[in-house]
Amino acid sequence: MPEALLVLADGSVFTGRSCGMEGRADGEVVFNTSMTGYQEMLTDPSYAGQLLTLTYPMIGNYGVDAAVEESACIQPAGLIVREAASFASHPRSQGTLHSYLQARGVVGIEGVDTRAVTRRIRRHGVMPGTITTSESASEALSRVRALPGYDDVNWVSTVTTDVVYDWDSSGPDARFRVALLDGGVKRNIMRSLAARGCAIRVFPAESRAHDLLAFSPDGIVLSPGPGDPRLLETMVAETRLLIGRVPLLGICLGHQMAARALGAGTFKLPFGHRGGNHPVKDTVTGQVTITAQNHGYAVDPAGLDPGAYVSHINLNDQTVEGIAMRGEPLLTIQYHSEACPGPLDNTVIFDRFVGLLAEVRGGVL
């Protein structure tokens, strides 16, 4: 394989080998600590505009399988791994990681000391970088330092659907109608809702509140997605109009938008939460679960509407992991309840949401 370079904006240079397409890929360099689920991560829209570093030392050993993809394409700008397995060892595999990246036109690098990359990000925070097979280190560094800031780009606009569509796995016996605002939705969110009797209609991110309400939904889901929620004030304003109209479930970016709609702020984490091993405590029950996460921003509860409260906290750094309202059917979570990849401890949030739909329809709330 041709030589490749990973160059970070702080001047760090890591030498490796090309994995996937030759060329160059630019983005914010982040890391994920999960041991498995690389294909689900690669198709997670929340990685749009980023270079994904996987900390587990061997990636690709079980190949790729179209059945586990979480969206229609690879979402990170590039992939950084220690070792990309040269052959796949799973009976369902349809190819190697290398051929998968090549077929999708994605630039990757292997042979990199991903432990060193991760330690640098943990010490200094996420930063721009590039993977390149066609430049010197000095040329790449000059280009990286001239890149627009990740926080200055509306990444949701690059991953949301262009058209309204119905998720085709809901089935004829669906009991509830759910409108989903697509900021970068993962398919397993829709699978999880459909499995609980929901017919799902997916709307573009810039849809207005009246567009979603015209569907006469029993509930609305605000999906995950990439980028800085401060750039999404139109979505926040429309979310504000939805609160109190029907039950709401906000996940990741959807959680941040709902929090902002309720008066809270958001801020960027130094290196984010990305992995399948984050402990979260329910502030009402005291129960602790292990969660899958992928986000670079968090909610600042200062200014939160007095009718809302922090329902979950992260036990590693005490950041807000969920909010709820005392008088309205609203739930939000910062983590990935649907996993894919990750532990399945938290799929219960979908049961709680569907329970709200049933209660409201029955006039209990």
Residues serving a catalytic function are 252, 336, 338
- Concatenated DSSP letters of 144-180: HTTSPPGGGS-THHHHS-SS-EE-TTS-TT--EEEEE
- Concatenated DSSP letters of 169-219: TS-TT--EEEEEEESS--HHHHHHHHTTTEEEEEEETT--HHHHHTT--SE
Q: Which residue matches tokens 């079980």? A: 62
Closest CA to 193 of 2, 352, 362, 11: 352
Q: How many residues does the chain have?
A: 365
How far CA 63 is from CA of 3, 90, 124, 342, 344, in Å, comes to: 23, 7, 33, 18, 22
What are the start-end ranges of the E strands in 9-90? 13-20, 24-32, 50-54, 58-59, 78-80, 83-84
Sheet-wide strand order for 330-333: 165-166, 198-204, 176-182, 219-222, 248-251, 330-333, 320-325, 308-314, 265-282, 288-300
